[in-house]
Amino acid sequence: MSHLERRNGASEGLLFDVVLARHRALHDLAKPLVRADYAHALDVWQWTLRLDPGAGLAVQLAALFHDVERLASEADARLEHRAADYQEFKDAHARIGAAWTDEVLAEIGIDEATRRAAVRLVGRHERPPAPGDPDAADLALLNDADALSFFSLNSPGYWEYFGPEPTRRKVAWTLARMRPEARQILAGVRLCPEVARIVRSMESLGA
């Protein structure tokens, strides 16, 4: 499969094969939403390596597992558009996903330092890095990869599933997390017409 062709020194070898197999086993691909989440996870991993070919193991693991919480809460129906506080909803999603990631990576045998780093990234991936954050570079990389995967892979389905207003909110929230260099890459990504119009309107407002 093409999405397995891009690796680097940190993700080559049998241990990462085990990671990929365990990650795949978590997903019931008979469920359309789970299948979409699985494709997104792999795509975020690949965007991580596109943006930084030297990406370390921790951020690659975080890319794969960052949305694992959805397998428990949103396997059959999406809930985020109903959240009264969107950021609070996303923060809870990240915290629960981090705990699950910790369990899975421990079972696989990922070394403690790498596991803890990956768990920190999953637990904080719904916010931009704070100034002075020692994980800032990896967190920004993960956020950019997540955002570019949303726009390039998931945004047409998001529009169809949620409709205009939730999509506008999601686009605004996602753009706000992206670094300028990632937004430059986004300019070259082909978007569905509806999402492209929203992005243009946000950019015209300086979002």
- Looking at per-residue confidence, does 204 or 60 come out higher? 60
Under a CB-based contact definition with an 8 Å cutoff, are residues 141 and 43 in contact?
A: no
| pLDDT tens column, 120-148 | 999 999 888 888 889 999 999 999 999 99
Enumerate residues 6+ apart whose C-beta is below 8 A from 140.
128, 129, 179
Q: How far apart are CA 169 and CA 163, in angstroms?
A: 11
Is the pLDDT reported for residue 84 higher than 90? Answer: no
| pLDDT tens column, 173-198 | 999 989 999 999 999 999 999 999 99
**Number of residues written out for the chain:** 207
Is the pLDDT reported for residue 99 higher than 90? Answer: yes
Confidence of residue 1 (pLDDT cuts 50, 70, 90): very low
pTM for the predicted model, two decimal places: 0.92
Mean pLDDT of 1-24: 87
Q: Is 39 exposed, middle or buried (0-12, 13-18, 19+ CB in 10 A)?
A: middle
- Looking at per-residue confidence, does 86 or 199 come out higher? 199
Question: Domains of the chain: which residue ranges?
Answer: 2-204
Is the pLDDT reported for residue 205 higher than 70? Answer: no
For residue 20, give both structure tokens. Answer: 């990929």
| pLDDT tens column, 30-67 | 999 999 999 999 999 999 999 999 999 999 999 999 99
- Measured in degrees and rounded to the nearest 5, phi and psi for residue 54 equal -100, 20
For residue 50, give both structure tokens. Answer: 């596109």
Q: What class is the 2-204 domain?
A: mainly alpha
- Looking at per-residue confidence, does 129 or 114 come out higher? 114
Measured in Å, how far apart are the chain's first and last C-alpha atoms?
37
Mean pLDDT of 168-172: 92
For residue 99, give both structure tokens. Answer: 């705990």
User: Which pLDDT does position 87 carry in this prediction?
Assistant: 87
Query: What DSSP element (H or E) covers 57?
Result: helix 57-65
| pLDDT over 90, % of the chain | 79
